[in-house]
Structure 1
Amino acid sequence: MAAKPSSIKYKSTRGGATGLTFEEAVFEGLACDGGLMIPDSIPDVSATFKSWSKLKFHELAYEVAKLYCSEAEIPAADLKELMCRSYSTFLHPDVVPIVKVDDLYIMELFHGPTFAFKDVALQALGNLYEYFLKRSKRKLCVVGATSGDTGGAAIYGMRGKENVECFILFPQGRVSQIQKQQMTSVLDANVHCLELEGTFDDCQDIVKDLFGDLPFKKQYCLGAVNSINWARIMFQITYYFYTYFKLFPQCDGTMSFSVPTGNFGDILAGYYAKRMGLPVKHLIVATNDNDILHRFFDSGSYDKYPVKATCSPSMDIGISSNFERYLFYVFGQDPKKLSEAMTEFKKTGKLAASNQDLQTARLDFASACATEKNQQDTMRSWDQKYQYTLDPHTACGVSACDQLRYKLGWAQLPRHAMVVLGTAHPGKFGEAVQAALKRPVVLPPALAAVEHAPTRFQVVPCTTQSVRNTIERTVLRRQYPAPCDCLSGVRRMLVGC
């Protein structure tokens, strides 16, 4: 049975925007009130989703997407073509294959163009942006912050796209060398990499500041690729359903997922899948030493700490942007309560859940923190026992399973499937993996090709104004390459987008 067409509209978690279409929500990124866009309802497919069991990945992605996007916005034939094109770039025929290792299953999400899970959403988002822009004849400045993998995936999703300028901010010295090479070796004219001396949180704060400057956002038509963009979450829902269908004959009808996460986007997609009706038993939040999420589920304290540099840099995040979406539901879908809590958090860096809210959250999630030693030991152990090479982020997910298997009791359940999301190819973090295994990682040919490729990037002071100025200069140069005597006049000409 086919899923029903969507009638869903979108709203801000903080109540300042309601009734937006899917297209408006995608282009809005961060809402005008500083909140995040969410659907006004979550579709229930519990009675029908098993009819999807034989679908290919791109076909399933279409079924999920059409629940959140009306056919009036994207006709069925167009949406099907978009999904087919988005996942044709993956190297494995299953797009996200599942590998059994001992009593765990690894959902390998790293067979896309940049060998990281974010390709699943960003290949589709790039095509979605291009589709909408062609139809409306407008231009877009995509602005994103990255702790490593979002940047590469966004760049590969946006490179060469018509009417799109792509600006990616990354923290100096806090991404792996291969991640930096992957981003900065893309020389397409519409790609602009900005290296900032600071942390990922600094980069993310600057992006939020730019989106919060509403005249600037409108003038330069800012679009988001970070998981503040609802479409990122929507596209990631697909692989939870897809994995369920791949494993259902081998399990008892329910399964659990352990998700390495820093910004809470990847596991939030699993939460939405569960709310839609997927029979999920446990969702495990697996953090590294930057454990703000684990501390929340452990004690109810969501307090900002200084970010530590670790061997799993994509999770070196002090504030998890997507957590606001989840708090909206924990706080009884009360935008006023959430807005007050987030305003206080911005002032003080502290947020405390009530005991009732904490108990609600613990019904949805379990959590564990994998230290540097946990990650190293797990990578080494899996190499020796199973000849399977983990990257340090996936090792966090495996370590979390080891820490919680008896507490949650899943290991004693017959035919229960515990799935760890394999978020990146180990070659993307070769130094950390080599330190654990005492040998270099063999890189896939496409990843090896960027290792010594020529690069292009700018070093920019870590301030909102510096990044803003860089975007202005770059857009003006790209659209008006000839010298212009009247800068303010040119700026006014740009407002038409």
Structure 2
Amino acid sequence: MEYVSTRGGVQPASFGEVLLDGAASDGGLVVPTTLPVIDEERLREWRALDYADLATAVIAPFAADIPSDELAAMTHRAYAPEAFDDERIVPVTALDGGIGLVGLSEGPTWAFKDLAMRFLGEAIPYRLAATDRTLTVLGATSGDTGSAAEHAFLGAHGVRVVMLSPQGRMSPVQRAQMFSIDDPAIRNLAVEGVFDDCQDLVKTISADTAFATAHSIGAVNSINVARIIAQTVFYVWAWLRATEEVDGRAADERISFVVPSGNFGNVYAGHLARRMGVPIHRLVVATNENDVLDEFFRTGVYAPRTREHTHATSSPSMDISKASNLERFVWDLLGPERFVERWPELAREGRLDLRDELPRLREEFGFVSGSSDHAHRLDAIRDVYRTHGIVIDPHTADGVSVARTFTEPGERLLVLETAKAVKFPETVAEALGDDAPPVSDAVRALLALPQRVVDVPGDVDAIRAVIEELD
């Protein structure tokens, strides 16, 4: 399988090449030229696999330049049960009203980002060793990618991490998980601005071919297509678990996924799984008050917003108004030639009007969307706890809130959990009052650790200077 840029300006490359490079040098995002087919027979064969073996099977066609035995060794290290709080790796739990919960936050940093990042933490050092290279991982995080990446690469030979996060826009636990790491190969930079500014800085530096080459720049946030590929695994896994036999018969409900989303990376992985053949009925995009994606899937118009119009909310990891990964989906939607013609409209006019494509968004690609706000989040946290004794985080609560507006007979809506509630104690306490679980000793100890972070302006030269200091 080969990979190209959405903008058509680079030569096709292998998985190993795009694994290290992250963003494309022409400013676009890397996409696979073809997709493997997952048919009913294959799904039946995969039903008995554990998570690591399923990951090997799903990722293998995308990573054809990695020998099968090496790939299997990577996935078994990445998804070793002892590294997760639940030995199933991704538990699937029924709630009520046709809604289920896909537990993606059992990893070491209590967020869904661990699932893909642990695979990158194996695959990238493997590729570096094979090519005798080093890599400076440059990333942007709205809350969870940073800690997942830094823990995944901690102590990895030949890897340094420079992580950008927006000043004052993450929860105390999110900051502590990142900033308390004491390793000279890891630098945390708090950028003046919002997540979109951090993401723009990463893309600008990655697209500067001379600088990126000189300093071996790579990316591990959802700019990197390998992370997207690793995330398709849990869609397949959750679909298989949701359709297992019940009382001796196979479940016959239509399965849809509800995905809390800001940057569109996680739900784009679901889109790939659906295109490959996994029988996913609908993909429900759930946003918070920063509802640019909801607006796009309701109206067909994509209009990113400025820093001044990006709200600081109680689900901060979704406080994003420029959904970087939407570029990949629009490339699929329009096709390569039309994409190259239409995408520049976004830069010229500040919006991309695809209203003519609105029927295809729903009928062909299965996308619908909704938004949630602070009051809805509190209601969802409270209701799920009182009914099931499960405490969900605010982002997952956005998903549950939106899911309730889309329930239909004969359909099960699986909400993708994004993080553990312990990362957002203030919002949970507001929702549950005296029923809120106490702060654990582990969290208290984490918050008490010294933190190492440098405040920087939202300026490319400031980030370049930090990278140059690492050499």
**Same fold, TM-score > 0.5, yes or no:** yes
CA distance in 2: counterparts of 1:246 and 1:384, whole angstroms: 25
For residue 149 of structure 1, what is the amino acid of its counterpart?
Answer: D
Counterpart in the other structure of 2:344:
343
CA distance in 2: counterparts of 1:304 and 1:387, whole angstroms: 38
1:34–1:340: structure 2 CA closer, same or farther, 3 Å change rule?
farther
Does 2:227 match 1:227?
A: no
Does 2:397 match 1:395?
A: yes
76, 92, 99: which is aligned to 2:93? 99
Listed one character per residue, the Cα deviations across residues 395-430 of structure 1 (whole Å, up to 9, x for unaligned) are: 11111111222xxxx2x11xx322111111001111
For residue 73 of structure 2, what is the amino acid of its counterpart?
Answer: E
1:244–1:230: structure 2 CA closer, same or farther, 3 Å change rule?
same
State the SS of the aligned residue for 2:28. coil
State the SS of the aligned residue for 2:139. strand
State the SS of the aligned residue for 1:309. coil
CA distance in 2: counterparts of 1:313 and 1:369, whole angstroms: 14
For residue 127 of structure 1, what is the amino acid of its counterpart?
Answer: E
For residue 37 of structure 1, what is the amino acid of its counterpart?
Answer: V
State the SS of the aligned residue for 2:94. strand
CA distance in 2: counterparts of 1:155 and 1:302, whole angstroms: 32
CA offset at residue 445 of structure 1? 5.6
128, 145, 154: which is aligned to 1:150? 145
For residue 349 of structure 2, what is the amino acid of its counterpart?
Answer: T
State the SS of the aligned residue for 2:424. helix
Contact 2:299 2:355 in 1 (8 A): no
Q: Output the TM-score relative to the length of structure 1.
A: 0.89
CA distance in 1: counterparts of 2:51 and 2:421, whole angstroms: 24
Contact 2:55 2:233 in 1 (8 A): yes
1:252–1:442: structure 2 CA closer, same or farther, 3 Å change rule?
farther
1:471–1:151: structure 2 CA closer, same or farther, 3 Å change rule?
same
For residue 350 of structure 2, what is the amino acid of its counterpart?
Answer: G
Counterpart in the other structure of 1:204:
199
CA offset at residue 182 of structure 1? 0.4
CA distance in 1: counterparts of 2:301 and 2:370, whole angstroms: 15
Structure 1 residue runs without a partner (length 5+): 1-7, 477-497
CA offset at residue 254 of structure 1? 3.2
For residue 105 of structure 1, what is the amino acid of its counterpart?
Answer: G
Listed one character per residue, the Cα deviations across residues 102-157 of structure 1 (whole Å, up to 9, x for unaligned) are: 23211010000100000000011111111111111111000000000111111111
State the SS of the aligned residue for 1:404. coil
CA offset at residue 329 of structure 1? 1.3
Does 2:308 match 1:313?
A: no
Counterpart in the other structure of 1:481:
none
State the SS of the aligned residue for 2:448. coil
Contact 1:426 1:441 in 2 (8 A): no
CA offset at residue 330 of structure 1? 1.1
For residue 352 of structure 2, what is the amino acid of its counterpart?
Answer: L
Q: Structure 1 vs Structure 2: percent identity of aligned residues?
A: 38
Listed one character per residue, the Cα deviations across residues 164-223 of structure 1 (whole Å, up to 9, x for unaligned) are: 110000111100111000000111221110011110001111111101111001001111
CA distance in 2: counterparts of 1:90 and 1:130, whole angstroms: 21
For residue 405 of structure 2, what is the amino acid of its counterpart?
Answer: Q
Counterpart in the other structure of 2:447:
451
Contact 1:160 1:189 in 2 (8 A): no
Residues paired across the two proteins, number: 456
State the SS of the aligned residue for 1:143. strand
CA offset at residue 29 of structure 1? 1.1
Does 2:5 match 1:12?
A: yes
Q: Which runs of 4+ in 1 moved over 6 A?
A: none
Contact 1:427 1:442 in 2 (8 A): no
CA distance in 2: counterparts of 1:427 and 1:105, whole angstroms: 21
CA distance in 2: counterparts of 1:234 and 1:448, whole angstroms: 35
For residue 376 of structure 1, what is the amino acid of its counterpart?
Answer: L
CA distance in 2: counterparts of 1:182 and 1:61, whole angstroms: 27
Listed one character per residue, the Cα deviations across residues 298-355 of structure 1 (whole Å, up to 9, x for unaligned) are: 1111112221000000000011111111101111x12x43234333313432111032
For residue 85 of structure 2, what is the amino acid of its counterpart?
Answer: L
For residue 325 of structure 2, what is the amino acid of its counterpart?
Answer: N
Counterpart in the other structure of 1:491:
none
Contact 1:124 1:235 in 2 (8 A): yes
CA distance in 1: counterparts of 2:440 and 2:66, whole angstroms: 36
Listed one character per residue, the Cα deviations across residues 359-378 of structure 1 (whole Å, up to 9, x for unaligned) are: 11122201001112211121
Contact 2:301 2:355 in 1 (8 A): no
CA distance in 1: counterparts of 2:86 and 2:387, whole angstroms: 25
Counterpart in the other structure of 2:425:
430
Counterpart in the other structure of 1:252:
252
CA distance in 1: counterparts of 2:444 and 2:51, whole angstroms: 27
1:446–1:79: structure 2 CA closer, same or farther, 3 Å change rule?
farther
Counterpart in the other structure of 1:298:
298
35, 43, 53: which is aligned to 1:49? 43
Counterpart in the other structure of 2:110:
115
For residue 115 of structure 1, what is the amino acid of its counterpart?
Answer: W
CA distance in 2: counterparts of 1:204 and 1:417, whole angstroms: 34
143, 153, 159: which is aligned to 2:154? 159
State the SS of the aligned residue for 1:284. strand
1:242–1:445: structure 2 CA closer, same or farther, 3 Å change rule?
farther
372, 375, 379: which is aligned to 1:373? 375
For residue 402 of structure 1, what is the amino acid of its counterpart?
Answer: R
Structure 2 residue runs without a partner (length 5+): none
CA distance in 1: counterparts of 2:339 and 2:172, whole angstroms: 38
1:451–1:50: structure 2 CA closer, same or farther, 3 Å change rule?
same
Root-mean-square deviation (Å)? 1.4
CA distance in 2: counterparts of 1:60 and 1:449, whole angstroms: 36
CA distance in 2: counterparts of 1:391 and 1:124, whole angstroms: 24
149, 164, 176: which is aligned to 1:169? 164
Contact 1:286 1:400 in 2 (8 A): yes
1:264–1:444: structure 2 CA closer, same or farther, 3 Å change rule?
farther
